[in-house]
Amino acid sequence: MYKYEIIINWSEQDQVFIAKVPELLGCMAHGKTQEEAIINIKEAIELWIDMAKEFGDIIPQPKSLQVA
């Protein structure tokens, strides 16, 4: 399980909750409810990391695990 920061905002334009992971460029998902957005972003995180591994890209550590 990954422990990335997830930011959820309501999109008035789209009428859905938008979930983003700041550490993973372009990793976002949406849902009609906050709960649905969280489920979808967890899947998006897995897919983002799988693709990064496949292409040999660097996978940023979650902020909670970074050492200052």
Domains of the chain by residue range: 7-56
Give the whole-angstrom CA distance, residue 54 versus residue 37.
25
Is 19 a residue whose pLDDT tops 70?
yes
The CA-to-CA distance between both ends of the chain, in Å, stands at: 22
* pLDDT computed for residue 26 by the predictor: 97
Look up the pTM and report it. 0.88
* pLDDT computed for residue 18 by the predictor: 98
Q: Which helix (H) or strand (E) holds 42?
A: helix 34-55
Residue ranges with strand state E in 5-66: 7-11, 16-20, 28-31
With contact defined as beta carbons under 8 Å apart, do 21 and 45 qualify? yes
pLDDT digits (tens, 9 = 90+) for 26-65: 999 999 999 999 999 999 999 999 999 999 999 999 987 6
Give the whole-angstrom CA distance, residue 68 versus residue 49.
23
